[in-house]
Structure 1
Amino acid sequence: MNKSRPILYLLLGYPGAGKTTTAKIISQLSGAEHLSSDSTRLDLFKNPTFNQEEHRKLYKKLDELAERFLREGKNVIYDANLNRYQHRQEKYDICRKTGAQPVLLWVRTPRQLAKQRATHVNRQPLWPDNETSEAMFERIANVIEEPHVNEPYIQIDGTKVSPEYISKQLDLI
């Protein structure tokens, strides 16, 4: 990786795959700014409805923060479900505008384990009221678009996520 350019880490994977844990570890190891869609949603909306307008406002805020930090020369972890190619393209556009280097991390975890993690009761504020956690998991998991040929990525084993493992995978030592 080119250390002279700021890095925008992007995360791909099932809900419950270990994306947020990976993001927190990267932030701790590297000092990168951690932009969490879950935390930001709860900060922006007292009672999230998960509708399209809320979604638009959330990602507008995250994109603005990412762009600002990257322009300041800071590395950023965009901790959100970037499971669709179109959404990743939007982040690649931010990289082009800011001169940042995109690094796509595909956190791969067996579907059943990810579902078990994602549907745990502690995550309830992150579920839409009109949808069960199982239905939410299936809806998101079923639309994952694997990286395209033109998208280099680093595969992260979601069953091995630890500071030592992430450091080794990303050469952060």
Structure 2
Amino acid sequence: MKSLSLAKPLAIMMIGLPGAGKSQFAKQFSDMFSAPVCSLNRLRYELFNSPSFQPQEYEILKRVVCYQIEELSKTGKSFIIDGACNALAERRDLAGIVRKNGYDTLVVWVQTDEPTARLRSVKRGRNDHLAEHQTMNLPAFESELKRLNPPAAAENYVVISGKHTFSTQARAVLKKLAAPRAETVQNHSVVRNQDIHAHAAPAHLKPPARRVQIT
């Protein structure tokens, strides 16, 4: 099993429409890197025999998710948050929790066209192999659609397609995670070069260039 070699532990926030493929990616990424998943929908079907998808139910689940994240962020290990992330305000609250314990955050936006996502979310059922993949009614889908805020410019995020293979999705995420490391190396190189130039002798102190006479 692989591990994520990162300078700081990471909290990965999954966002996207219901049926986009967030939970499928989260499960496979979790299996690949042994990263725990905090799943709102998994909690929903553990706590409620007949979920109503009403706002009161969602608020209860959000509180449980926040509690789980507070505890997970004490471990210093990277983990995935699948649910309670679609709204920008929710992501800011979650980021505030994990950053107190030295975590970085990455928003993974799983994009799937709305008709496909709607069809997936309302036609799946309890026979699905993931507990997160349960039937959602149309009003609940529309509610999530309204809640979804695209990543803000200040957020660290990557976009993947919910119709691509997991290997393609994972490569995109890992490339994003590698980017800051490459940027750091480049910045160190720039600073080093600037330091060398700063310590170079002033032009008026440099020895004159030697002239080579060819006869």
> CA-to-partner distance for each residue in 1:65-114, whole Å, 9 max, x for gaps?
12212211121111115221111111111122221111100101111111
- From 38, 45, 56, the equivalent of 2:48 is 45
Q: 1:125 to 1:13 in 2, by over 3 A?
A: closer
- From 9, 15, 18, the equivalent of 2:18 is 15
- Alignment match, 1:130: none
Q: Does 1:169 align with 2:169?
A: no
Q: Is the 8 A contact 1:13 1:144 kept in 2?
A: yes
Mapped partners of 1:165, 1:100: distance in 2? 26
Structure-to-structure mapping, 1:33-72, within 5 angstroms: 33-72=36-75
For the aligned residues, what is the CA RMSD? 2.4
- Alignment match, 2:164: 160
- Alignment match, 1:102: 105
**Segment of structure 1 superposing worse, 14-23 or 113-122:** 113-122
- Alignment match, 1:73: 76
Structure whose alpha-carbon radius of gyration is higher: 2
- Alignment match, 1:28: 31
- Alignment match, 1:112: 115
When the two structures are aligned, how many residues end up with a matched partner? 167
TM-score, normalization by structure 2: 0.70
1:138 corresponds to which letter in structure 2?
A: E
Mapped partners of 1:144, 1:53: distance in 2? 18
Which ranges in structure 2 are unaligned for 5 or more consecutive residues?
Answer: 127-132, 178-215
**Segment of structure 1 superposing worse, 16-25 or 48-57:** 48-57
TM-score, normalization by structure 1: 0.85
Shift of 1:121: 4.1
Q: 1:118 to 1:50 in 2, by over 3 A?
A: closer
Secondary structure at 2:159's aligned position in 1? Answer: strand
Q: Is the 8 A contact 1:7 1:70 kept in 2?
A: no
Mapped partners of 1:101, 1:42: distance in 2? 29
1:107 corresponds to which letter in structure 2?
A: V
Q: Is the 8 A contact 1:22 1:161 kept in 2?
A: no
- Alignment match, 1:5: 8
Which ranges in structure 1 are unaligned for 5 or more consecutive residues?
Answer: 128-132
Mapped partners of 1:138, 1:47: distance in 2? 19
